[in-house]
Amino acid sequence: MTRGVLLTRGDLEVAQLLRAAEVPNASRDWGGSRHGIIIKMVYGATSSLMYVTVPAGYRSEPHMHDTEQLDYMAAGEMWVFIEDSGFLAKAGDFFRVPSNAIHWTWNGSSQPCTIVESHAPGLQNDPKLVNGAMPLLKEGELSAVNGSPYSVPVDPEVCGMAEVEKRVMASHAAVSADGPNAGSGENC
């Protein structure tokens, strides 16, 4: 069964169009918290794109994947920790997680946040995502999966999760206390 609309420009067939209603909401809990995230995910031949709603209080488990990750914070705010550093991403911010970097997030606010997240190569074969991922491919076109097609959990003790969070948030509090423009720099 073909979903969406296959577009043409002259003799060239181009990517499939899916309406938001055609992309299922997939609920996932990657952090063992009582709150799960809601994901809409599409993928092409070499990348995947997710629209993610993260509830207040949600903390993901530390993990890594053999894909580069680019994010846009569409609404709200969320703490992002990458290896031994971190920052508070706010609505309108962009950030990057390098391939194979241990990372995790925490929405410590009282409001949900929304992220647009891209992975290259795509994560459409991740066992926690595969059931909701929708292709944006024309018939017969294959998705090329390079590298690890799934997220690998990392033990919080091994990556020093608690220590990193404590140090980064203490640094942020100190910078924020310095004035109204504080907190706009890197690692704050």
Rounded to two decimals, the pTM is 0.80
Q: What is the pLDDT of residue 123?
A: 86
In order of 23, 115, 148, 174, the CA distances from 26 in angstroms are: 9, 15, 21, 38
Q: Is the pLDDT of residue 182 over 60?
A: no
CA distance 130 to 124: 5
| Amino acid symbol at 182 | A
pLDDT digits (tens, 9 = 90+) for 71-92: 999 999 999 999 999 999 999 9
What is the topology classification, in CATH, of domain 19-132+143-176? Jelly Rolls (2.60.120)
Looking from the CA of 15 toward its CB, the CA atoms found within 13 Å total 12
Q: What is the pLDDT of residues 14-60, one digit of tens each?
A: 567 888 888 888 876 655 545 678 889 998 888 899 999 999 999 98
Cα 80 from chain centroid?
Answer: 10
Show me where the domains of the chain are located: 19-132+143-176
Instruction: Write the secondary structure of 142-172 as one string of H (helix), E (strand) and C (coil).
Output: CCCCCCCCCCEECCHHHHCHHHHHHHHHHHH
How large is the average pLDDT for residues 92-112?
95
